[in-house]
Amino acid sequence: MQTKIRFFSVTFDFHGHELISRVKAASQRAPENIVLADLDETRVSASLYLFHPRKISIARRDADGEVTWESVETLDRVAVKIHMSKKNAVISAVNSPRSSKFIDSLMSELCLGGRYFYESMEIDENLIKKHVSKFDAARLVSAKVRDFAVYEGAVGRFEVTSKNGLMDEIAPFLRGKFYRVDSLTYELTHKFSSFLITYSSSGSIKINDTHMDMILPSFEKLI
């Protein structure tokens, strides 16, 4: 089973060295919303569980067979890590909801009315190549690209997959041309184990559950 981890770049109006103390204070102030799992003061990072309310629609059928819909509130439990990188703070969330409102919930507790800004972290080809080079062998097996010129005034997008591996240029007609990468999937081999990892330019990676402890720390060190 694959796990999706989303990454966000965050800036806020307090100094980065205050992060640990603010996370501690937030967990004590709102223990029903924030539960600490781990703190590392030397690396200025914190792992926690964030409980975020969300409304969902459910259907009820009465004795006559008539269906009615109603809105009920549920709780999402999101595993979150926040740490300071070279440039700013990075939040990573495991299998998070599509909406990013859970980040607003966390940052409002940390900033206490102060200003903050976050956006999906860009994962570019340079970062991807640095990461896959950390493993014994890497083979590009699938790619989604877009915005390459087909002819004047027209651009295209496509996905290409090969279990035998793709060329570095992805496809011959892309060589030397401008295009944007949506996602790249690599088959990695490391210490007699093979597994897949998908990098999305919009700020997420998908990895196999059994290899997450091997892959995730090496990726986080690069961002």
> pLDDT band at residue 113, thresholds of 50, 70 and 90?
confident
> pLDDT band at residue 76, thresholds of 50, 70 and 90?
confident
- Say if residue 55's pLDDT is above 80: no
pTM recorded for the entire structure: 0.85
Among 61-70, 78-87, 174-183, 196-205, the minimum mean pLDDT is found in 61-70
pLDDT, mean of residues 167-196: 88
Residue 208: count of CB within 10 angstroms of its CB:
17
The sign one gets for the Cα dihedral 7, 200, 101, 54 is negative
What does the DSSP assignment read for 110-146? HHTT--EEEEEPP--HHHHHHHHTTSSEEEEEEEEEE
Tokens of 59: 């259907």
DSSP 180: E
Q: CA nearest 123: which of 2, 4, 6?
A: 6
The pLDDT value given to residue 63:
77
Q: Phi-psi bin for 77: left (phi > 0), alpha (psi -120 to 50), beta?
A: beta
Residues whose CB falls within 8 Å of the CB of residue 210, separated by 6 or more in sequence, listed in order? 195
DSSP 101: H
> pLDDT band at residue 132, thresholds of 50, 70 and 90?
very high
Go through the domains of the chain in sequence order and give each one's CATH number.
2-120 (3.30.160), 125-220 (no CATH)
